[in-house]
Amino acid sequence: MFIKTASTACLAVTFPFAFGLDVPPRNNSAQHIALGKAKVFLSQLATAEKIGLVTGSYGLGPVLPCVGTISGIPRLNFSGLCYSDGPTGYARSDGVSVFPSGITVAATWDRDLMYQRALAIGEEFRAKGAHVHLGPSPGPLGRSIVAGRNWEGFGPDPYLAGVATNASVTGIQAAGVQASSKHYIGNEQETQRGSSTLSGGLTVSNGTVIDAVSANIDDRTLHELYLWPFANAVHAGTASVMCGYNRVNGNYTCANPDILDRILKDELAFPGYVLSDWDATHSTELSANGGLDMEMPGTQSVSGVSYFGDSLLAAVNNGTVSLDRLNDMVTRVMMPYYLLGQDQDFPEPDPASGGVFLNYQYGYNSPLSSVYPAVDARDVRADHAKIIRRIGAAGTVLLKNTNGALPLTHETNIGLLGNDVSYPTIGSVYLDYDNAEGYEMGTLDIGGGSGTVRHTSFSTPEEAIERKARKLGIRVQKLFDNKEVAEGLFRTIYPRPQACLVFLKAFATEGTDRASPDLQWNATAVVESTAAFCPNTIVVTHGPGVVAMPWADNPKVTAILAAHYPGEESGNALVDVLWGAVEPSGRLPYSIPRNSSDCGPPILSSVANATDPNAWQVDFTEGQMIDYRQFDANGTEALYEFGFGLSYSNFTMSSDTSFELIDGPLSALPDQSQGMVPGGLADLWKVVAVLKVEVTNSGHRASSAVPQLYVSLPQDTTPPGTPHKVLRGFEKLHLKAGERREARFELMRRDLSYWDLGNRQWVVPEGIVQFSAGFSSRNLVARTHARLVYDQN
């Protein structure tokens, strides 16, 4: 999202089908009532009022507590809609919580924590008076490991991302707040993400408008990778879907009938509304007729021109956009409003957010005085610090632990080193997307851009470790200047610590992509220098996902913790893991490559002809081969593979499996007679098989295992480009020492299908399907196989 500020120009429910779709609604009284209310409301509107319901603006009157609004209609007791960022908490406000990032909660591999995070975020949004949460972020998926917004999403595996998206939509809407799943679709890089008139776009000297990057994706790759988690969002009942800045196959996503109408609204039977990212609309008739239902932010766009508003009114009056289409747009917008009960006792937007919004600059300065009168913020945090702390710990992945370096037990003298330990020296502020490395001094718990959140409270590693050390009588020595550490200037550290904790970070933000996967601020030299000084060096990283670790095999680096962006309870969550109060149960939701040659598709950062408006083209020629799929296809080893993570305990899995086709063999094609549900054909979402395997905690501590199931479709009966294996199930099992329990993986028809270009449908292949279970994508110990399809002869 691009924001123009005052100082810079720049309930678990599903919906019935809107009446623009040629399928019946589900038999649900609440849904029928909501649809009926929306139709009654529509019948009372003048055409100009209908236009107002699909054309956004900034703020409500003279105050700006919302990043976008739909104006109210007082005569019908409709007070309007308030939209706010973002996926990690309520942005541009005070009295709010900073939640762990999407990639952090994905690293928990815990469906319940995914849901609890979303529920808490939804509760804060409702309490602040925001009707719509601009999240979750199933896009970007993570095609490139250096894409600037990967941290907001759930990682490059569509199944894991889909589970997290489903839980997030369900949790947000259980709080009575609309989810807006974004950024649909193919928004896999920030560089030139929009045209040269928008944020992220590049301008040339002759003033030519350069179009946004086009993600050129074949239909199978689109369905099996990038669309997959959006289908989960639709199936979970997401109120809206936000189309992104980029183009897909040459057309802007917000005016692309192929991806909005044919795929999203028809194939996935999406009954909600499509809203544009801020200033991502480029046309009137093309957008409205192509499937866009709401323009944001209307006449207050960067260009100063609204493509909806008066322009849409004129198009309706002259017949280039039909009145039926406008009515469909309005009904799609109003139905979730009624279904989630937002017409009853919904809080007014917190006016205190306006002062923060007016001064929001995506930068280091947050001058919250003089421009706007001081207003006490509505504190909506409740006890959410508890769930933030739990997720922060559960999303921390133990990658290395030589000779039981962790948990800390008998150390009486420890060192804290690196510039990622303390409170930021510039204060608690928004993060800048003009500075590729963020601020130098201070720990990093969240990324930058519209997804960031202002801290009301903040537990840093330094503060939390100091508090723990005082209780245990441990001496703590500190050296935070990375230059000093990298040069080996440990003159202030004496006596030599028994354990040196090195804190490293990598900043990522909307609006720009990372230059490389490297940790920043001379991180490699910091680790190598510390390890030469301290033979028990424990590294903690805070980053947006994949970060390079060229020092991982150094024998003096005894432990590595990937803490991601853990949110405001960063320090407390880390202490829980370091001293063993909480078991490290996180697992990687991505692979960490050993060699730079295995980093996957690069970001397109420049083009040969900078004056060609259509020059920015990214061909997704790798197809589905990203992350562990790429490693499998190339036969290469990762440094740490997808799904990997250590524990303070040990687990074993039986080699025996139990596999059952619930109703016997399957037909190749889904049964269309079962009708449609949000997310597509109902038959695709039917559980058709179950696989079971036993897992044992063979260690001496209670801990959590994450058994994973991978499915390998037959290479000889599927089209070229079929991955060697794909994740299709996981469980988070909390086991006492010595306890054995069954892991149960339920498989839906879609989990066992590939997208067939000829049929334009999901197809279960003939032949033998392999099933492999284990503890990571490369640690698979239980295998079985089955033929799933009827004999066609």
Select the highest-mean-pLDDT range: 15-24, 248-257, 360-369.
248-257
- In sequence order, the 6+-apart residues with CB closer than 8 A to the CB of 472 are none
Instruction: Tell me what pLDDT residue 300 has.
Output: 62
Which tokens go with 177?
A: 């707040």
Q: Is the predicted pLDDT of residue 214 greater than 90, yes or no?
A: yes
* pLDDT confidence bin for 22, thresholds 50/70/90: very low
d(CA 193, CA 247): 8
Q: Note the Cα 109 to chain centre separation in Å.
A: 14
- Mean pLDDT, to the nearest integer, of 475-484? 97
Q: List strands edge to edge, sheet with 768-776.
A: 726-730, 708-712, 768-776, 779-787
What confidence score (pLDDT) does residue 58 get? Answer: 79
Q: Which of 699, 729, 658, 730 is nearest to 401 (CA)?
A: 699
Residues 472-476 have a mean pLDDT of: 98
DSSP 8-state secondary structure symbol assigned to residue 751: G
Cα(427)–Cα(112) distance, rounded to whole angstroms? Answer: 33
Pairing mode, strands 214-216 and 617-619: parallel
Give me the phi and psi of 726, to 5 degrees please. -140, 145
pLDDT at 2 over 50: no
Asked if 706 and 643 touch (Cβ cutoff 8 Å), the reply is yes
Quickly state the pLDDT bin for 748 (edges 50, 70, 90): very high
Distance CA 67, CA 1 (A): 10
Helices and strands (H and E) in the chain: how many: 18, 32
Angle separating helix axes 158-174 and 111-128, nearest 10 degrees: 40
Q: With pLDDT > 70 as the criterion, what percentage of the chain qualifies?
A: 89
Q: Which token pair is 682?
A: 């109902």
Select which of 85, 94, 266, 277 is catalytic: 277
CB 171 within 8 A of CB 265: no
| Cβ contacts of 550-555, under 8 Å, gap ≥ 24 | 550/524, 551/524, 551/527, 552/399, 552/400, 552/639, 552/640, 554/527, 554/528, 555/402
Cα separation, 398 vs 577, in Å, equals 9
Contact 761, 722 (CB under 8 A): no
User: Which run of H or of E encompasses 771?
Assistant: strand 768-776
Reading the block at residue 409, the tokens are 């037990």
Are the beta carbons of 674 and 683 closer than 8 angstroms? yes
Stronger pLDDT, 495 or 439, i.e. the higher one: 495
**Residue 70, both tokens:** 């739909």
Cα gap 699→161, rounded to integer Å: 30
Across 81-95, 147-161, 565-579, least confident range: 81-95
Of 357-371, 638-652, 728-742, which gets the smallest average pLDDT? 357-371
Task: Please give the Cα distance from 342 to 755 (Å, whole number).
Answer: 38
Better-predicted residue by pLDDT, 789 or 7: 789
**Confidence category of residue 32, pLDDT binned at 50, 70, 90:** confident
Mean pLDDT of the region 637-655 = 97
Task: List, for residues 553-575, the tens digit of each pLDDT value.
Answer: 999 999 999 999 999 999 999 99
- Band of pLDDT at residue 353, cut at 50, 70 and 90: confident
Short-list 155, 153, 132, CA closest to 592 = 155
Q: Residue 1 — very low, low, confident or very high, per pLDDT cuts 50/70/90?
A: low
User: What region does 702 belong to: left with phi over 0, alpha with psi -120 to 50, or beta?
Assistant: beta
For the chain, the average pLDDT equals 91
Are 294 and 278 in contact by the 8 Å Cβ rule? The answer is no
Looking at residue 229, what is its pLDDT?
99
pLDDT band at 201 (very low <50, low <70, confident <90, very high): low
**Cβ contact 384:97 at 8 Å:** yes
Contact 439, 425 (CB under 8 A): yes
Selected residue with higher pLDDT from 594 and 597 = 594
Among residues 765, 761, 769, the alpha carbon closest in space to that of 785 is found at 769
- Over residues 700-727, the pLDDT tens digits come to 999 999 999 999 999 999 999 999 999 9
pLDDT digits (tens, 9 = 90+) for 238-289: 999 999 999 999 999 999 999 999 999 999 999 999 999 999 999 999 999 9
pLDDT per residue as tens digits for the range 508-526: 999 899 999 999 999 999 9
Q: What is residue 374's predicted lDDT score, i.e. its pLDDT?
A: 59
pTM for the model stands at: 0.94
pLDDT confidence of 597, banded at 50, 70, 90? confident
Three-state secondary structure of 234-260: HHHCCCEEEECCCEECCEEHHHCHHHH
Q: Which of 57-61, 609-613, 623-627 has the lowest mean pLDDT?
A: 57-61
pLDDT band at 30 (very low <50, low <70, confident <90, very high): confident
pLDDT at 19: 38
Mean pLDDT within 538-564:
98
User: Per-residue pLDDT for 183 more than 60?
Assistant: yes
| Domains of the chain with CATH codes | 46-202+209-371 (3.20.20.300), 384-598 (3.40.50.1700), 649-788 (2.60.40.10)
- For residue 433 the two structure tokens come to 């997307």
pLDDT of amino acid 194: 84
How far apart are the C-alpha atoms of 260 and 269, rounded to whole Å? 11
134 vs 57: CA distance, rounded Å: 15
138-152, 369-383, 612-626: lowest mean pLDDT where? 369-383
Query: 79 phi and psi, to 5 degrees?
Result: -90, 0
Over residues 501-513, the mean pLDDT reads 94
Residue 314 has pLDDT above 80, yes or no: yes
**Lookup: tokens for 320:** 């280039």
pLDDT at 354: 65
Q: Is 277 a catalytic residue?
A: yes
Residue 360: φ, ψ to 5°: -75, 125
Rounded to whole angstroms, the Cα distance separating 421 from 462 reads 5
Helix or strand or coil: residue 69? strand
Average pLDDT over residues 464-489: 97
How far apart, in whole angstroms, are the C-alpha atoms of residue 485 and residue 483?
5
Give pLDDT, residue 360: 46
